[in-house]
Amino acid sequence: MRLTRRTMMTTACATWAGIGLPARAQPAEPDADEVIAAFIGDAPVRSDGITLDLPESVEDGYRVRVEVDAPGAEEVLLIAPANPVKAVVSVQFGAMAVTHRVVTRIRLAGPQQVVALARMPDGTVCRKTQHIDVLIGGCG
């Protein structure tokens, strides 16, 4: 699934990681369950076949390293349910991307269960969830 530009542009008013203002939700932004359901569709879901590597806790959510490994996957989607925009990134792998691995750095608005989904060539979806604690920023 690729979210349309229209969906992406209708944003909630909130903030990242203690850098701003209280959330002012707007109905057009799909919630995390909707984003996840849209990706999965009717596909069978399994819990193996994907790893999600991120820290257990971070001082602030400004720049958090995330690695998703999903051998064989056609596409992966990363969801941060406590963020104003739940879908964070999706990656489609071409034939050369034989490891189906991606690393990026993301913003997290608070402590939450980050979800990674991978669409496999056999029509199944692999799902992995990991909790991360996001503390308020300190000097360190």
Partner 1 sequence: MTLNRRSVLAGGAATLAAPAVLAQGHGRSRVVVIGGGAGGATAARYIAKDSDGGIAVTLVEPSRTYATCFFSNLYLGGFKTLRDITHSYGPLAAAGVNVVHDWAIGVDRAARTVTLAGGATLPYDKLILSPGIDFVEGSVPGWDISAQNAMPHAYKAGSQTELLKAQVDAMPEGGVFAMVAPPNPYRCPPGPYERVSMVAHVLRDRNPTAKIVIADPKPKFSKMALFEEGWARHYPGMIDWVGEDFGGGNVSVDPAAMTLDIDGDLLEVDVCNVIPAMKAGRIADIAGVTEGNWAPVNAVDMSSKADPDIYVLGDASQQGDMPKSGFSANSQAKVCANAVRAALIGSTQFPARYANTCWSLIDAEDGVKVGATYEPTAEKIARVDGFISQVGETDELRRATYEESEGWYSGITGDMFGT
Partner 2 sequence: MATGVKTRIKLPDTAGAGDVITIKTQITHQMETGHRLDSAGVPLPRSIIHRLHCTFDGETVVDVDLRPGISTNPFFEFDAQVTRSGVFQFAWHDDDGAVYTAAKAISVT
Residues engaged in binding partner 1 (CB under 8 A):
18-20, 60, 62-63, 65, 105, 135-140
- The residue among 101 and 130 lying less far from partner 2, judged by its C-beta, is 101
Q: Which helix (H) or strand (E) holds 7?
A: helix 5-9
Tokens of 22: 């209280």
Shortest approach of partner 1 to residue 126 CB, angstroms?
26
Beta bridge partners of 130: 114
Tokens of 89: 């990134």
Tokens of 140: 């360190």
Q: Which helix (H) or strand (E) holds 57?
A: strand 57-58
**Binding-site ranges for partner 2 (CB under 8 A):** 2-3, 5, 8-9, 11-16, 19-21, 62-64, 80, 83-85, 87-99, 101-108
Shortest approach of partner 1 to residue 62 CB, angstroms?
5
Shortest approach of partner 1 to residue 139 CB, angstroms?
3
Residue bearing tokens 């596909």? 43
- The residue among 5 and 139 lying less far from partner 2, judged by its C-beta, is 5
